[in-house]
Structure 1
Amino acid sequence: MFDVLVYLYETYWRPDACPDHAQLTRKLSAVGFESDEIQEALSWLEGLAEGAASYQGQQGALSLRVYSEAELDHLGEPSVGFISFLESAGVLPPPMREMVIDRGMAIPGAPMDLEDLKIIVLMVFWSRGEEPDALILDELFVAPEDRLIH
């Protein structure tokens, strides 16, 4: 599923640039993705689109997020730490944080792999038509051991 999401991110600037569901399914199949992988990714994206409006304006800038035990178990400490890092850096506002948590909880298996969570963060930005700044893209895609220290 994550390969499909990355392909969509790389191929389409924003969700509204994607073709309709049937045509997109055909295009993804033609590229070589399996049918079940395509359907899982498109279903996940529908959940992202449905949830986007529900998180707007629910939390103020000074609100504190307390994770439930189920969220901590499912997301895992590295993923929760990464979400907190992005939030404290000022690049992941509360509504987007909630979208990331919601979509992370929609992924089967626990604990979630940090690399998968990074793709979810990227897709949340993509779903809102926003491009993360260069430092965030670096954090999302460059392994810490591959970073050059200047």
Structure 2
Amino acid sequence: MYDVLVFVYENYWHGGACPETEQLSVKLSSKGFEASDIADALNWLDGLRIATAGLQGDSTDTEDTPRPSESALRAWTLQPQSPHAMRVYSFEEQEHLGAEGLGFLRFLEDSQVLPSGMREVIIERAMAAPEAPLSLEELKIIVLMIYWSTGIEPDALVLDELCDDPEGRIAH
């Protein structure tokens, strides 16, 4: 499923540019993806569309429409969260996200690039993924797809963190 999601991310500028489900299914089949992976990915993408429906820009936006600003990203929340609030993860969420995944979400929040509303959509979509616990790489793909779906371009450093393989990094 994740290979299909990466393909969709790499080939469509944003969620609104992605073709309808049936057309996308045909395209993915022609690219050689397994039918079960395509079905899983399309179901997951349908859930993503529903989860982010109220959080995206107007669907009539065009490429000439300016992208959301950094302040818009910070303001993007389902419900405003107090600065002293703390997200308590259920046992099921802890098991499904794993320690690395929870740590990564915390890192994004501490870096102030993950508003609480976006975090909740990420958790919901991560819980919809069939594997448990998710690997860190799978969670990063989910985070990337949330940014993609909403049309919000992540900061360059965040994008680097989401796309870069940490195995090849050298500590200074």
Residue matched to 1:89: 111
SS of the aligned residue for 1:137 comes to helix
Distance 1:120 1:138 in 2: 15
Residue matched to 1:144: 166
SS of the aligned residue for 1:48 comes to helix
Say whether 1:107 aligns with 2:129.
yes
Higher helix share: 1
Select between 82-91 and 57-66 the one with higher mean Cα deviation. Answer: 57-66
Residue matched to 1:52: 52
State the 1:109 CA deviation.
Answer: 2.7
**Unmatched 5+ stretches in structure 1:** none
Indicate how the Cα distance of structure 1 residues 74 and 21 shifts in structure 2: closer, same or farther if over 3 A, else same.
same
Residue matched to 2:35: 35
Distance 1:122 1:95 in 2: 15
Residue matched to 2:74: none
Residue matched to 1:67: 89
Residue matched to 1:120: 142
State the 1:148 CA deviation.
Answer: 4.9
State the 1:100 CA deviation.
Answer: 0.8
Select between 55-64 and 76-85 the one with higher mean Cα deviation. Answer: 55-64
TM (norm. structure 2) is: 0.81
After superposition, the CA RMSD in angstroms is 1.7
State the 1:16 CA deviation.
Answer: 1.1
Show CA shifts across 1:4-42 (max 9, x none): 000000000011111121111111111111122111101
AA of the residue aligned to 1:48: L
Show CA shifts across 1:34-54 (max 9, x none): 122111101101111111246
State the 1:141 CA deviation.
Answer: 2.1
Query: What is the aligned-residue identity percentage?
Result: 53
SS of the aligned residue for 1:76 comes to helix
Residue matched to 2:64: none
Aligned residue-pair number: 150
Distance 1:5 1:76 in 2: 21
AA of the residue aligned to 2:17: A
Select between 89-98 and 107-116 the one with higher mean Cα deviation. Answer: 107-116
**Unmatched 5+ stretches in structure 2:** 56-76
State the 1:147 CA deviation.
Answer: 2.6
TM (norm. structure 1) is: 0.92
State the 1:61 CA deviation.
Answer: 4.7
